[in-house]
Amino acid sequence: MHCGRTSSRVALALIAATALIGCKRRQPAEAIDVTPSLSVNRARAPLGSAIEVTYTWTTGASLKKMDQPYRAFVHFLDSHEVMLFTDDHVPTPAPSSWEPGKTYSYTRTVFIPIYPYVGDVEVRVGLHPEGRGERLALKGQDTGMREYKVASMEVLPQTENIFLVYKEGWHNPESSPQNPSLERTWTKKDALVSFKNPKKDIVVYLEADTNYKAFDFPPVLTVAVNGRSGLTVPIENSEVFLKKIRVKAADLGNEEWVDLKLSMNQSFVPKVKGVNTHDDRELGLLVYHLYVSEADKLGSLANVVDAGPVSVPTAVAAASPAPAAPARPAGARPVSQTTTPAPNPKPQS
């Protein structure tokens, strides 16, 4: 009996020691002296629309220099904490250059995908290494897993948007090889959309790129509203670019419908250029997002360019004749809409 009691005491002591070690391991890491915050240009925004997200990182006096590159993860979650979309990125400037007692702030444009969800959205952010490693413990409202609640907003139905009717000059949407949930659409040399005239100032968002090396000389894009007002955009490389163009109500005219035309000064055929031996389409611009909104619904915007007088460029023949693309029906869904994926589990990044 004595030996049994001794064995029991030893076992209990080992269990207690193991539990103590486990408790010590679960103690939260000391937070670095960085406080994240976030604001959105409008607290209520429709599905398929654009929002301007301003990120602010405030460093305290005790911050020590970070020893490796870090990225920001940004999760937009529905009321059940299911991730709807993200805006992961490298902050500007990079965290490795942050100094104590500073405030770093910058604004990014985010396009809200089309999901079968409307309602409240919670925004959480954090920092994680670009390579392998744990997320950083920051200062703020930690919701678990070192992700910090920084803002809330509401997502509205897509019907709150100005609906675009896609007419001639558009190929069928296709998925991005790098991100199958992201759709983009090639235009021909010229592409036309129409929308009902709101008879108010508008802002046109255009996010696009093209294959710069496939052109015989530098490509130039003209964005024209009713053929007389817009913006001329010289394209200098194959990188994605974003333009925000403010158009005055007077330039929309008095007609019920407004035409918005994207015109390249030339086009190319991948098969002829050796880019893709099976693709004989006439291509101009690769559009990721095309979005039009009444200006007074957008609040404060950065990097907006006022539309001015433009003229549609003279036609330049493609490298060879290309067959006509299948017609897209009037009222086809906007380019900015993406295929709705299955709901994601709670993010692990």
Please compute, for residue 142, the number of CA atoms within 13 A of its CA located in the half-sphere on the CB side.
14
Two structure tokens written together for 96: 């490795």
Q: Give the pLDDT score at 111.
A: 97
pTM over 0.75: yes
First vs last C-alpha separation in the chain: 54
Burial 49-80, CB ≥16 within 10 A → b, else e: bbbbbbbebbbeeebeebeeebbbbbbbbbee
Dist CA 58 CA 35 (whole Å): 5
Report pLDDT digits (tens) over 260-281.
999 999 999 999 988 887 899 9
Taking the C-alpha atoms of residue 220 and residue 212, their distance in angstroms, rounded to an integer, is 10
Instruction: Give, in degrees to the nearest 5, the angle at Cα 243 between 43 and 154.
Output: 15
Q: Most distant CA pair in the chain: distance in Å?
A: 103
| Per-residue confidence band for 338, with pLDDT thresholds at 50, 70 and 90 | very low
Contact 96, 68 (CB under 8 A): yes
Looking at the DSSP bridge assignments, the partners of residue 191 are: 262
pLDDT at 271: 93
The predicted structure's pLDDT at residue 145: 94
* Predicted local distance difference test score (pLDDT) of residue 325: 40
- Looking at this protein, which amino acid is placed at residue 326? P
Q: What angle do CA 42, 151, 35 make, to 5 degrees?
A: 130
**Spatial CB neighbours of 283, under 8 Å, sequence gap ≥ 6:** 171, 186, 187, 188, 210, 211, 214, 267, 268, 269, 270
In the chain, the domains with their CATH numbers are 34-159 (2.60.40.1930), 162-309 (2.60.120.260)
Residues 6+ apart with CB under 8 A from 239: 209
Model pLDDT, residue 142: 97
